[in-house]
Amino acid sequence: MKSKLLASLVCVAVALPAWAADVTYLKDIKPLIKAQCGECHGDDAPTLHEFDLDPEKYKKEKLGPRTSTYETLLQLVGWPDAGALMRRLDDGANSGDKKPGNMYKNLGETEEERATNLKLIKAWVGEGAWNLNRWEKRGDVPAVTKEQLDRLQLKY
């Protein structure tokens, strides 16, 4: 019994990084973001800088910053809006108040689908790179560190 449990643990520990290293933007993330987020973050949505010029206008139109290309999506991961993707999509496991981010619900119809899609996006961002920190410290949220940024994978 003990050895069986140990064997399955070893199996998971070995299998996960191999699977995670395989996640790419083109193959996995682009189609996922298009399907789940495209309605409000698609090609006709404002770029992050356009959005920031008049957020209230775009919110009324139910448009968020564009995430339909690798480059626009990365602006919400690394710079200038460090950690925005993580803060909005986290299921609550990493947030101080344990509440999911307000875009988490868009990850799928069911809790199972949301969990699977979150796992995929986390693997793409990079093991150990998933944190909710900002570029600059704000309130209780610390600034992201170079060490944390070094863990980003974001394979194209």
Rounded Cα gap, residues 23 and 102, in angstroms? 24
* CA 72 centroid distance within chain: 13
Contact criterion met (CB below 8 Å) for 63 and 71: no
| Residue 59 engages ligand HEC in binding (rule: CB under 6 A) | yes
Q: Using CB under 6 A, which residues numbered 112 to 151 contact ligand HEC?
A: none
Compute the least distance from the CB of residue 21 to ligand HEC, in Å. Answer: 22
Compute the least distance from the CB of residue 81 to ligand HEC, in Å. Answer: 5
Show Cβ contacts of residue 111 under 8 Å, excluding neighbours closer than 6 positions: none
Question: Smaller CB distance to ligand HEC: residue 20 or 132?
Answer: 132
| Structure tokens that stand for 25 in this block | 């933007």
Say how many CA atoms lie within 13 Å of 20 toward its Cβ.
20
**The only residue of 20, 89, 129, 132 in contact with ligand HEC, by rule CB under 6 A:** 89
| Residue 85 engages ligand HEC in binding (rule: CB under 6 A) | yes
**The only residue of 68, 95, 106, 153 in contact with ligand HEC, by rule CB under 6 A:** 106
Question: Smaller CB distance to ligand HEC: residue 17 or 55?
Answer: 55
Show Cβ contacts of residue 83 under 8 Å, excluding neighbours closer than 6 positions: 77, 131, 132, 133, 134, 135, 144
Q: Kindly list the residues in this chain that would bind ligand HEC in the complex (CB under 6 A).
A: 36-37, 39-41, 48, 59, 62-65, 76, 81, 84-85, 88-89, 102-103, 106-107
